[in-house]
Copies of this chain bind each other. A is one copy, B any other.
Amino acid sequence: MTGLLSNIIEMIKPLDRQAMAEAGLRQDILTKPQGSLGRLEELSIQLAGIQRKPIPQIRHKAIITMAGDHGVVAEGVSAFPQQVTAQMVYNFLGGGAGINVITRQVGARIIVVDMGVATELKPNPQLLSRKVAFGTQNMSQSPAMTREQAAKAIETGIEVVASEVAKGLDIVGTGDMGIGNTTASSAICAVMTGKPVAEVTGRGTGIADKQLTHKVKVINRALAVNRPDPKQPLDVLAKVGGFEIGGLVGVMLAAAAHRVPVVIDGFISGAAALIATALSPELKDFLIAAHVSAEAGHQLLLRHLGLKPLLDLGMRLGEGTGAALGIFLAEAAARVLAEMSTFAEAGVSEGDTPGK
């Protein structure tokens, strides 16, 4: 493990129980029946513990969308051709993708990172060029990347977060783009949860039954060829992962180290979370699962992580679209705690009065 990575992992400390207790006490004196804002109340308390503030604040919001290509698409595992990864990166930069629309609505900035797109991308002031390589190798024939590349991908995620924290960052959402990355994510999920590949493999961008059977076969071959060791998360990332997935591992670890709540998106972010929480079990408390996606295996993955999703809207776009909606809910949770009047301030009688 590199110095940067082990330092970041060491920086991850438990939630601040004192701030959480104070947030909980405040929730109970706000002008509403106790507990009546349900998960928004729980979320506000989690945010307090992460930010170490009795009244957490969500003002500076960002989605980090990382893009990378996958050698395994040569096996015909996706409904879309590989060049779509690069095309969609340009779409992000042009503001026309789903994630652009939703981040505009929630007032979050979006950071687009080229972690390993297979083609040279035109320079753009909005694009962070952090290419580890021009796409991964075909994992059904050899490891997707070297151990050094896996470490490099994670470190890049750590550095991206550090530079965003310097600009002000109260919450971060994870996003991904990479044709073929549900294949890598299913492989990671199978290894880390111990479940059969068929149970954690879905249709990705929308493949038909026959192609799905083929995708499962390709993943099984990748596992047989590489034999990734679930006890060594970096080994798993290197053998069957992706550069954007590694980058997101770094984003999650660094955010937690900097006490920034992480809203994880769908299946690909979930796969990154499996690697990241294996590297640092403390990380789990810093994660907020935005939604359960329509991708097969995501529900199982979230259960394995012990996370309960906020939304269940049948979404499966990736890019961070689910995470952006989750950031909205986290902001609502923080605002409620910060802005609602207490019973005393508003002159409202409290409940359970005698005789009622």
- Which A positions have Cβ atoms within 8 angstroms of B? 30-40, 76, 78-81, 83-84, 87-88, 90-91, 94, 96-98, 100-102, 104-105, 204-206, 294, 310-317, 321, 325, 328-329, 331-332, 335-336, 339-341, 345-353, 355-356
Contacts A/B (CB < 8 Å), 10 sampled: A37-B98, A39-B315, A83-B349, A91-B346, A96-B339, A98-B336, A101-B339, A102-B336, A104-B335, A205-B351
Q: Which residue of B lies closest to A86 (CB)?
A: B348
Q: How far is the CA of A317 from the CA of B351 in the complex (A)?
A: 13
Find chain B residues with CB under 8 A from A90 CB: 346-347
Copies of this protein chain in the complex = 2
Could you list 19 further interchain pairs (A-B, Cβ under 8 angstroms) beyond the known A38-B313, A205-B351, A325-B332?
A33-B317, A34-B206, A35-B206, A38-B314, A38-B316, A79-B351, A79-B352, A81-B356, A87-B347, A96-B341, A97-B346, A98-B336, A101-B336, A101-B339, A102-B335, A105-B332, A206-B351, A310-B313, A312-B312
Dominant secondary structure of chain A at its interface with chain B = loop
Contact A80 B349 (CB under 8 A): yes
Q: Are B94 and A346 in contact (CB under 8 A)?
A: yes
Residue among A30, A91, A204 having the largest count of chain B Cβ atoms under 10 Å: A91
* Minimal Cβ-Cβ distance residue in B for A324: B332
**Are B205's CB and A36's CB within 8 A?**
yes
Contacts of A105 in B (CB 8 A): 328, 331-332, 335
Q: Which residues does chain B contribute within 8 Å of A79, judged by CB atoms? A: 33, 351-352, 356
